[in-house]
Amino acid sequence: MSHNEELPPGPDFALGVPLASVPPDGVLAGRVGKEAVLIARLADGLHAIGATCTHYGGPLAEGLRVGDEIRCPWHHACFSLRDGAARKAPAFAAVQAWRVKIDGDTVFVREPLHATTKPQPRTPRARIVIVGGGAAGFAAAERLRDLGHAGSLTMLSADASAPYDRPNLSKDFLAGTAPEDWIPLKSEAHYAKRDIDLRLGTKVVAIDHAAREVVLREGDRFGYDALLIATGAAPRPLRLPGFDHANVFALRSLTDARAIIAACASARAVAFVGAGFIGMEAAGALRERGLDVHVVAPDSVPMERALGAELGAWIQSLHAAKGVRFHLREKPAAFDGKALVLESGTRIDANMVIVGVGVAPRTSLAEQAGMQVDDGIVVDAWLQTSLPDHYAAGDVARFPLGEERARVEHWVHAERMGQAAAANMLGARHAFDDVPFFWTHHHGIDVRYCGYAGRWDRVEVDGDLNARDFTARYFREGALVAAASVGRDRENLEIEASLHR
Ligand SMILES: Cc1cc2nc3c(=O)[nH]c(=O)nc-3n(C[C@H](O)[C@H](O)[C@H](O)COP(=O)(O)OP(=O)(O)OC[C@H]3O[C@@H](n4cnc5c(N)ncnc54)[C@H](O)[C@@H]3O)c2cc1C
Ligand code: FES
């Protein structure tokens, strides 16, 4: 590769570009030295920020500008075009802001700006406790400190590990192509630095809302002025004969993923029960490890409920081409530790079984405390539960979405709910109205999905599935409610923005 090929595309802003080349909306993509940089024209003048997303390095120049922010084409993080701040998950770190100089008709960008503003310290709630150290809990803690919360901040997590990149557990980490040091969202030192009292392996067993205290398994109590419940969801077990064998796994936590990886060392074949997103991703990852992979599910194609028959069949074909063997319209009956027996009588030799038949929201704490629960903790538009000062976010929360109530199980959405709950705990009163978004990864192909289609009655596919270039639009009673895209990242962002409007 030549030296030039390593440089980000576009002009070198250090050498100057014509003022007229900066569009009135959109952004001008270029570079400063080897750094990808964007220039945007805002109401108060020109601004320049780094163009490489701080989440996984997505190219912001290929994203979508909406007002004074730029949205990443890969997982839809939002950055301020004014100062580079990471406004919305899944990115948490700002991109570099650069000084813009205008000389006559020429614009120059040469020097990084050093942020000087710090949030005003405030303590509308002196003691905040977060139950859960996953997507929503982590994002809430970060946002609380970003917004200047100067009181105590305690995160109680039943997990043995500090918050980590859960989506990666069924993707590169499981495939063995991502080392474990990519998995933590932050180092443990980070929590100390931000004065976040992170307690791992700490299970909350009750909420004494009258006393404003949570109770740990060991009997210890933590007082709070505001509480966030971010306990997520637990894999649904399958109570079938032999499903209590040690070589039957679920995949939710880092501990689960490590156990599966350890079992792979001596396994030749694995049977997945369920053909949902996580199961199919994991099937792909273990196929990459060279295992014989079987998928057993009662459905006619994988992921049919979410994506429809055509896309489901396409996902199936991707996996089948890599050697995954499907046993669809079949149900498991029993596992004897060596073979999975189906109701049809088929026997599948398997050294391990992985069950992925959906999750159930962890609502027991809320139920016991008397909060309203209905397949999830019911929250209002500000993510407050039926008890004042008690908030819920993430997979566990059922929130108002348009005319209905929804509970979604997506990483970015859980993080954004955590961010919104954090702001509201400090008194922002911002109604949470983000459009749900998720992505899923199969044999090197990313499907990006925005919107919420609990029910849909028509799907229109525009483009070519085999060319991996399409958008599927989902409609309910004539109205667009969601879209799934491959190879059309910007279009997915545009649809997301239109759904928000
Ligand atoms: C393997 C895998 C891959 C995924 N891939 C994707 C993907 O590609 N894209 C996508 O959009 N979504 C994906 N998801 C879904 C996504 O990870 C979840 O939607 C998201 O993690 C939900 O965040 P949460 O904070 O609500 O819950 P979680 O992240 O599950 O966190 C819940 C936390 O609460 C803790 N907890 C529970 N009960 C208690 C208690 N009583 N006391 C103390 N702590 C408690 C848990 O230990 C955990 O730390 C994936 C999920 C899995 C499991
Ligand atoms: S790489 Fe930008 S949001 Fe993930």
The CATH number of the domain where 473 resides is what? 3.30.390.30
* Same domain (yes/no): 101, 141: no
Range of the domain at 494: 444-500
pLDDT of residue 146: 96
Kindly list the protein residues whose Cβ atom lies closer than 6 A to any atom of ligand 1. 131-137, 156-159, 166-167, 169-170, 203-204, 230-232, 251-252, 278, 362, 365, 394-396, 409-412, 414, 438-440
What are 112's strand-pairing partners?
Answer: 98
Token pair of 76 as six digits: 């839809």
pLDDT of residue 6: 80
Q: Give the residue carrying structure tokens 């053909």.
A: 275
Report whether 309 contacts 300 (CB < 8 A): yes
Report how far residue 247's alpha carbon sits from residue 259's, in angstroms, rounded to the nearest whole number.
9
Q: What is the DSSP letter of 236?
A: P
Nearest-atom index, ligand 1, CA of 168: 3
Gap from CA of 97 to ligand 2 centroid (Å): 18
Number of structural domains (the chain) is: 4
Distances in Å between the Cα of 224 and the Cα atoms of 155, 209, 378, 390, 481 are 11, 9, 21, 10, 39
Among 318, 333, 356, the domain-final residue is 356
pLDDT of residue 501: 82
Count of Cβ atoms closer than 10 Å to residue 102 Cβ:
13
435 is a domain residue: no
* Same domain (yes/no): 142, 229: yes
pLDDT in tens, the chain (501 residues): 344 468 899 999 999 999 999 999 999 999 999 999 999 999 999 999 999 999 999 999 999 999 999 999 999 999 999 999 999 999 999 999 999 999 999 999 999 998 777 888 888 999 999 999 999 999 999 999 999 999 999 999 999 999 999 999 999 999 999 999 999 999 989 999 999 999 999 999 999 999 999 999 999 999 999 999 999 999 999 999 999 999 999 999 999 999 999 999 999 999 999 999 999 999 999 999 999 999 999 999 999 989 999 999 999 999 999 999 999 999 999 999 999 999 999 999 999 999 999 999 999 999 999 999 999 999 999 999 999 999 999 999 999 998 889 999 999 999 999 999 999 999 999 999 999 999 999 999 999 999 998 889 999 999 999 999 999 999 999 999 999 999 999 999 999 999 998
Q: Which ligand is nearest to the CA of 79?
A: 2
Among 356, 371, 392, the domain-final residue is 356
6 is a domain residue: no
**Ligand 1 atom 7, closest CA:** 167
* Same domain (yes/no): 329, 380: no
* Same domain (yes/no): 228, 274: no
* Same domain (yes/no): 312, 456: no
Tell me the DSSP string of 454-484: SS-SEEEEEEETTTTEEEEEEEETTEEEEEE
Gap from CA of 238 to ligand 2 centroid (Å): 35
